[in-house]
A = this chain, B = another copy of it.
């Protein structure tokens, strides 16, 4: 729990001056004129510790103490609290941060908030952080490496106390930036090396290789033989891992990989739909499609429907991520739950642990967590009518 952090004092917006939209004309010369210009403490403007101090007839130090529950004479407490309530005093969080060195904000950066897998991460991270008294700063990098690096670098501007980063791929520059990050960072994804040797940052990843393998094995086990594969960009970590899992399962199942059955494209519904058209044109005998994520699987399903192929009778379909989309499709999509929500939650907790570490020198060694994938079988991959 965030100790007294986010304004927990006995405050309230009780009877303060009209808000930003209120008309209040205060000709104070202290600072600019307008409503929220922060005029001096004399009369107009936003109340500060000084305003309260004057009103309560105590020093600003006492105001601060009372507001932070640092004990004071009952009498003093009462007067300060009353003054604060009457003026609708709200402490300036920026000033507090400057003094305390903490902003009670953390950043979550991923490539695109439109992706359901990220949505569940955001959701969990926000919930955990909120409970701990932190606010969540969201940053979409549009899968731009420069932007990711910029986020890492901007950690030095003191805007947030830590970062959860979900990079689309890890480059040497990422490793460098991670090593010199000004604040604790937790990476959602695979980092190279093993803790003593790898980059000194905590991370949570899923075992998508195993996940992909499980899905493909399932397709094979249910009688499919000509299993197409619609993958995302091969130079991304997710793309690479899924390909690995696909090939491993194929091999284990005694099936020869066939380049004609494999397409590499973007992680979107449209790309999936297009990919399947190409695949079906080249190999009309496909009896299953394994897709690197649910969007691709949905796109594939649409093409199958559009071309009159029955799912799962003619062609089985399986996706990955088990997002809300998997249950939205028809038939409901078999998918691999890669634990996006759990990864988000875990990452958030790891970051909180770092944030709670005392400033005293020795820092705990980097942690690596792995969330195991879980195959979720739904109707889209039921055994074909005349299957094994």
Residue positions of A touching B, CB distance < 8 A: 1-3, 7, 12-14, 16, 18-25, 32-38, 46, 88, 90-95, 97-98, 101, 103, 105, 112-114, 116, 119-120, 122-123, 126-127, 130, 135-140, 153-159, 175-185, 196-197, 199-201, 269, 298, 301-302, 305, 324-325, 327-332, 359-363, 366
A356 to chain B, nearest CB (A): 14
Task: Give the chain B neighbours of A91 by CB distance below 8 A.
Answer: 157
- Inter-chain CA distance A157–B327, complex, in Å, is 42
Grouping DSSP codes into helix (H, G, I), strand (E, B) and loop, the A interface class, with mixed when no group exceeds half, is loop
Contact of B126 with A269 in the complex, beta carbons under 8 Å: no
A90-B157, A126-B140 as given contacts; A180 in contact with B330, CB under 8 Å: no
- Inter-chain CA distance A112–B122, complex, in Å, is 11
Contact of A113 with B122 in the complex, beta carbons under 8 Å: yes
Contact of A182 with B36 in the complex, beta carbons under 8 Å: yes
Contact of A90 with B156 in the complex, beta carbons under 8 Å: yes
A358 to chain B, nearest CB (A): 9
Count the copies. 2
- Inter-chain CA distance A16–B182, complex, in Å, is 10
- Inter-chain CA distance A190–B324, complex, in Å, is 29
Task: Give the chain B neighbours of A180 by CB distance below 8 A.
Answer: 1, 12-14, 16, 18-22
A90-B154, A93-B157 as given contacts; A183 in contact with B36, CB under 8 Å: yes
Contact of A159 with B94 in the complex, beta carbons under 8 Å: yes
Besides A94-B158, A113-B126, 4 more A-B contacts (Cβ < 8 Å) are A21-B200, A46-B182, A126-B139, A305-B331
Task: Give the chain B neighbours of A360 by CB distance below 8 A.
Answer: 33-34
A126-B138, A359-B33 as given contacts; A328 in contact with B269, CB under 8 Å: yes
